[in-house]
């Protein structure tokens, strides 16, 4: 055989042998390799199966979702888990300050134990285990609603207080409300007396709520603010979620008669005391109408310049730095207060004030036996003072807490729902 033939023979043999080796390599799986997988390599499938066996079944959910903005300061930052239990949850602000929170007794949920701040970015990291002890992790970051994009309502009276039967619920919003119906639907006022309560909008920033007549004495009134997430104006959302309760005391209504210059104090319809007074002078008449005591001061300063009473030099016509036993009736500056600078003879005989109702009193507000002290000590915020026969106009319903000077029909007409 020639060398060329020998080389050809070796080449053919090598090719055949190589083919056998290749076939041997592909068939190394034996019978399993031909069981319907078309010759597919099963090594990756086994890796995937092994990884699946190591993955935790615990499913962690964080709300709001990662990247949210304008998030609620009340209902955000909730963590829940299914098919497992929470083992650790941490919440921090962007600067690393920790936020207190608590995992539930059954270890399936977590929430912060403090109210969140507005315009703040928070980060949440949660860890859970499934029944086999396999660990799962979840992280999220969100930003709460900013002051620019949110509104709050400042309300009166305060939670837990006892007030007079004339006290309305008055809410002043820090942003103009254009979606009045939506906001009003998020506010409910009810009383154990069962009286119907209607809310009235004086303007875009103020809403008061009251019954047809004064509250019944010794009842409990509940204000519920469910404003979280309510859109009060375009792009402006509520953040409050709060329940407030207050009680009404005895039914005290005081009648001031500028003509007789006497003040009659009644409780539950019975006169308990008559006090001589000095009301507004003929040039500075006192408003007429039903007024509600909104503030009390044992002593306060009264400067005429703050309410428009100035002399030719622009100074206040009066500036008394220690007016005793003062109780506010209007925002514009009408008070019932003690008077120590007037002669005793004016009370019950002549009207001399710049529009307030004055009672005989002493300087320093320390004499409990004066008429001014008696009325102050026996009055509470929310008591009604009805001023009559002054010759002046009726006080505006929104000048103070004086919506009682509006008819029930007109009051209901100011409701947005």
Write out pLDDT tens, residues 276-300. Answer: 999 999 999 999 999 999 999 999 9
Q: Give the CATH architecture of domain 149-249.
A: Sandwich (2.60)
Tokens encoding 135: 């660990």
Which pair of structure tokens corresponds to residue 371?
């008429």
Residues 229-283 pLDDT 10s: 999 999 999 999 999 999 999 999 999 999 999 999 999 999 999 999 999 999 9
32 pLDDT higher than 80: no
pLDDT at site 383: 98
How does residue 59 score in pLDDT terms, banded at 50, 70 and 90? very high
Give the separation between CA 100 and CA 92, rounded to whole angstroms. 9
Q: What is the pLDDT of residue 320?
A: 82
Domain ranges for the chain, please list them: 59-145, 149-249, 252-402
Take residue 199 and report the two structure tokens written for it: 């809310």
Q: Which residues pair with 135 in a beta bridge?
A: 129
Give me the chain's average pLDDT, please: 88
Question: What are 370's two structure tokens?
Answer: 């004066």
Q: The sheet that has 135-143: what strands, in order across it?
A: 85-93, 121-129, 135-143
Same fold, 149-249 and 252-402: no
Q: Could you read off the pLDDT of 308-328 as tens digits, one per residue?
A: 555 656 555 657 889 999 999
Q: Are strands 335-339 and 357-360 parallel, antiparallel or unpaired?
A: parallel
Of all helices (H) and strands (E), which one includes residue 20? helix 3-26
Contact between 385 and 271 under an 8 Å Cβ cutoff? The reply is no
What is the rounded average pLDDT of the residues 347-355?
94
Paired tokens of 119: 């315009």
Residue 75 has a pLDDT of 79
Number of H helices, E strands in the chain: 5, 27
Please check whether residue 302 is in contact with residue 320, taking contact to mean a CB–CB distance below 8 angstroms.
yes
Contact 263, 358 (CB under 8 A): no
Residue 96 CA to residue 161 CA, distance in Å, equals: 39
Q: Sheet with 198-203: list strands edge to edge.
A: 153-156, 169-173, 206-210, 198-203
Cα distances (angstroms) measured from residue 243 to each of 173, 259, 405: 17, 45, 28
Residue 285 CA to residue 306 CA, distance in Å, equals 17
Q: What is the pLDDT of residue 311?
A: 60
Q: Going by C-beta distance under 8 Å and a sequence separation of 6 or more, which residues neighbour residue 169? A: 155, 156, 157, 189, 197, 199, 208, 209, 210, 221, 223
Per-residue model confidence (pLDDT) at position 15: 40
pLDDT band at 17 (very low <50, low <70, confident <90, very high): very low
The architecture in CATH of the region 252-402 reads Beta Barrel (2.40)
Q: Is 358 left (phi over 0), alpha (psi -120 to 50) or beta?
A: beta
Cite the active site residues. 337, 356
Tokens encoding 60: 């962690």
- Of the candidates 255, 261, 273, 254, which has an alpha carbon nearest to the alpha carbon of residue 348? 261
Q: Is the pLDDT of residue 57 over 90?
A: yes
Question: Which residues, 6+ apart, have CB-to-CB distance to 267 below 8 Å?
Answer: 250, 251, 252
Lowest mean pLDDT among 41-50, 110-119, 254-263, 337-346: 41-50
Tokens of 170: 């008055």
Q: Which residues of 310-330 are buried (b: 16+ CB within 10 A; e: fewer)?
A: eeeeeebeeebeebbbbbbbb
CATH class of residue range 59-145: mainly beta
pLDDT at 304 over 70: no
* Residue 411, φ and ψ in degrees, nearest 5: -65, -45
SS (H, E, C) 344-380: HHHCCCCCCECCCEEEECCCCCCCCCCHHHHHHHCCC
Across the range 1-23, mean pLDDT stands at: 41
Q: What is the pLDDT of residue 401?
A: 98
Predicted confidence band at 354 (pLDDT cuts at 50, 70, 90)? confident
Task: With a cut of 90, say whether residue 40 has pLDDT above it.
Answer: no
Interstrand relation of 101-103 and 109-112 (parallel, antiparallel or unpaired): antiparallel
């Amino acid at each position: 055989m020639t060398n060329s033939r020998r080389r050809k023979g070796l080449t053919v043999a090598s090719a055949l042998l190589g083919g056998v080796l290749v076939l041997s390599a592909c068939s190394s799986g034996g019978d399993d390799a031909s069981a319907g997988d078309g010759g597919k390599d099963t090594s990756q499938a086994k890796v995937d199966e092994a990884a699946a066996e190591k993955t935790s079944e615990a499913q962690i959910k964080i709300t709001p979702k990662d990247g949210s903005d304008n998030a609620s300061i009340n209902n955000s930052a909730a963590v829940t888990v299914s098919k497992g239990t929470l083992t650790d949850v941490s919440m921090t602000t962007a600067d690393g300050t920790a936020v207190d929170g608590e995992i539930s007794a059954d270890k399936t949920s977590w929430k912060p134990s403090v109210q969140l701040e507005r315009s703040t970015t928070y980060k949440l990291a949660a860890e859970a285990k499934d029944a086999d002890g396999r660990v799962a992790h979840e992280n999220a970051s969100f930003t709460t609603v900013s002051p620019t994009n949110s509104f709050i309502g400042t309300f009166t009276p305060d939670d837990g207080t006892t007030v007079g039967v004339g006290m309305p619920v008055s809410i002043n919003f820090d942003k103009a409300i254009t979606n009045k119906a939506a906001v009003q639907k998020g506010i409910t006022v009810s009383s154990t007396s069962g009286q119907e309560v209607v809310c009235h909008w004086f303007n875009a920033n103020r809403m008061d709520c009251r019954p047809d007549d004064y509250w019944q004495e010794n009842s409990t009134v509940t204000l519920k603010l469910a404003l979280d997430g309510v859109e009060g104006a375009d792009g402006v959302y509520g953040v409050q979620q709060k329940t407030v309760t207050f009680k009404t005391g005895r039914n005290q209504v005081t009648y001031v008669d500028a003509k007789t210059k006497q003040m009659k104090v009644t409780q539950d319809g019975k006169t308990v005391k008559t006090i001589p007074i000095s009301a507004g002078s003929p040039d500075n008449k006192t408003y007429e109408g039903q007024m509600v005591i909104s503030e009390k001061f044992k002593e306060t300063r009264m400067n005429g310049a703050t309410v428009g009473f100035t002399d030719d030099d622009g100074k206040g016509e009066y500036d008394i730095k220690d007016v005793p036993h003062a109780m506010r009736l209007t925002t514009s500056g009408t008070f019932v207060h003690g008077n120590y600078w007037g002669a005793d003879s004016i009370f019950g005989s002549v009207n001399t004030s710049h529009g307030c109702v004055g009672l005989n009193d002493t300087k320093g507000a320390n004499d409990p036996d004066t008429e001014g002290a008696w009325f102050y000590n026996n009055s509470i915020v929310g008591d009604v003072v009805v001023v009559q026969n002054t010759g002046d106009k009726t006080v505006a319903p929104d000048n103070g807490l004086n919506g009682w000077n509006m008819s029930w029909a007109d009051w209901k007409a100011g409701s947005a729902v």
